[in-house]
Structure 1
C-alpha cells in the first residue's frame, strides 16, 4: 500500500520522522535525568556511558547498540529484511547525536534526595515518559522507518510467529538484564539510579501512554498529506459517491435484522459475513478463526494489550488481531468506494468517520429485551443469555477502544442512535430511511 504514496507525502513523512526522533530522544533524556533508572532500551548504553575514563558518550554507545540490533535483524530475516529499513543505520547515527544533545540540554534538571526532590524526580520521570510516548505515537503515524529497538523484536516476532507486543516486552526485559549485568561488571553492584524503579515504571507507563496518545495525533494527517490507503483512515469520496450506512449494535438489540430489512428496502447489499470470508481469503485464515477473533477482545486480553507495546504501525505488526483489523478496514474502504451498501459492525463508523456520504447508526435495547432475543437465538436459559449479552458487549467495546481509542457507545460517534425496545425494527428502518432522505 505504501507504494501508492506520492513523493510529496513521502518527503513530508521522512522530514517529520527526523523531528520526531528529537522528541523521542528528549523524552528519554528527561526520564534519565530523574535518576530513578533509565528506560529499558537505554539501559545498556546509559550504564556504559557512566564508566569512568572511557571517553565514550551515551550517544556513541546508542549508535553501537542500534547497529548491532540492525545487523541482528538482517541475520534473522536475511532475504526477507526490507531493504528500505537499512536506513535505520542513518537513523541510529542521528538518534545518537540527538541523545547526546538532549542529555546536555537536560543536564540541569536533576534534583536532590530530599522528599521534595524525590517527588520532583517522579514528576520528571512521568513527564519524560509522556513525551517519549507522544513521540512514539507520532513515529507510528509517520509509518516509514523504525528505530532499531522496535525493528529487532519485530524481526524476532516474524521469525517465531509470535505477537510483537509480547516479544517487545521480552526484548526490553533482556536489555534491562544486560544493564544490570553491566552494573555488576563495571561498578561491582546494582546501581539503582541507572537501572531502578523508574526502569520498571517506564516498561508499562510508556506503552500505556502511547495508546492514550495514538488517537490524538490525527492532526498529523494534514501535515503529512496522507493518502487514504493506510489502516483506519477515511475514504475521500465526492458528493455523488455511493451511500454507505454503517450499523453498530449491542448484542441482542436486533441491529442485524435492522440492517437486513434496511438493505432490502433500499435495494442495496448487506455486508456482514462477507467481511469474515474476505478477511479469511486475504490472510489465509479459516472462516472460523476470523469469526472467533474479530470484534472479540476479552477484558483479560485488553489488559494484556494495554501493557504490551504499540510502537509500530498496525500495517507492520504480525499480530493476528491487527492483521484482521487491517484487512477489514481496507475491505470496508474499498466497498465504500464501489457501491451503496449497509455494513454491520467492524468499527465501520470510525473507519468511514470523515466520509461525508456515509450514515452511521447505533442500535441499542433495554437489557431485558436483549436477553429475551438472545434466549431465542441460542435456545438457552435466561441466565446464560444474560451472561452472553454482557460478555459480547464487553468484547465489542474492548475491540472498539483498542482500535479507535474511543467509546463504542458514545452517541457522538454516530449520526443516529435508536433503542429497539422503544421503537420497532420496522420503525427504525423507516427512521433511517427518512433521515437519509431529509439529509439530502
Structure 2
C-alpha cells in the first residue's frame, strides 16, 4: 500500500503555486472580459461591480471595469473588516490581487472589444469559452497560498468568524450579490431593466461550481502543487 502511494506521488508533476496564482489571475480576468463581451450576463459575483462600470462609464468616458472592481472590492473589504472587527495584515495581499486583476481585466476588455459580436452563434461561443476559462482560473486559485481577491476572502473570513460552513456561506454571498445586482440594475437603468445580468448569469450560476469541482480534482490528480518562494517565516496566527 505504501509503495502504491509513493508511486502515485512520483507520477504527479510538481506545479509551482506561484504559477497557479498567475494563471488563475490571467484566466479569470480574460474569461470575465469574454463573458462581458458576449452580453448574456456576467457572473453573480462580479455583477455589482459591472453595473457600477456600466452606469459611471456613461458619463465618465475613462471609467473602466477594472476601476469599478477596485471601488467595489475596496468597499467589500471595509465591510468585511467591520464585521470581523479588525484589519489583518494578510488583507494587504488581497488588495494586491485586486490591483493585478483590475489591470488585467481592463487589458482584456480592450482585446475582447475587438471581437465582432453581430452573430448570435459568435456570442454563444464567446460566452461558453469565457465561462470555462473563469472556471479554469478559479480552480487554479484554489491551489495556491497567495491571497485571492476580496470576494473569496470575505466569504472565508466571515465563515471562520462565525463558524459557518464555507460552501453555504459562499452560496448566501452569491444570492446576495444577485439580489444586489438586480436592485442596482433597476435603480440605474429603470424598472424591470436587466443590465449586466441575464440568462448567462443563471447558466453560469448552475454550471460554474460543478466545472470548478471537476477541474480541481483533475489538477490534484495530475499535479503536486508546491511552494517555490519563501520570503520569510509565517507570522503567528494572532498577527495575521
TM-score, structure 1 as length reference: 0.44
CA distance in 2, matches of 1:131, 1:179: 23
- Return the offset for 1:18: 3.3
Does structure 1 residue 141 correspond to structure 2 residue 143? yes
CA distance in 2, matches of 1:83, 1:224: 20
Higher relative contact order, structure no. (Cα contacts within 8 Å, ≥ 6 residues apart): 2
Other structure's SS at 1:221 match: strand
Does structure 1 residue 161 correspond to structure 2 residue 167? no
- Pairwise mapping of residues 19-418 of structure 1 onto structure 2 (< 5 A)? 19-51=23-55, 52-55=58-61, 56-79=63-86, 82-112=88-118, 117-192=119-194, 194-218=196-220, 219-221=222-224, 224=227
- Return the offset for 1:130: 0.9
Are the equivalent residues in 1 in contact too, given 2:93–2:146 (CA < 8 A)?
A: no
Greater share of residues in helix:
2
- Return the offset for 1:82: 4.6
Gaps of 5+ in 2: 1-15, 230-240
Instruction: State the aligned residue count.
Output: 211
Aligned residue in 1 for 2:4:
none
TM-score, structure 2 as length reference: 0.78
- Return the offset for 1:181: 1.8
- Return the offset for 1:222: 6.3
Query: Residues 110 and 149 (structure 1 numbering): CA distance in 2 closer, same or farther, change over 3 Å?
Result: farther
- Return the offset for 1:19: 3.8
Gaps of 5+ in 1: 1-11, 227-440
CA RMSD after TM alignment: 2.4
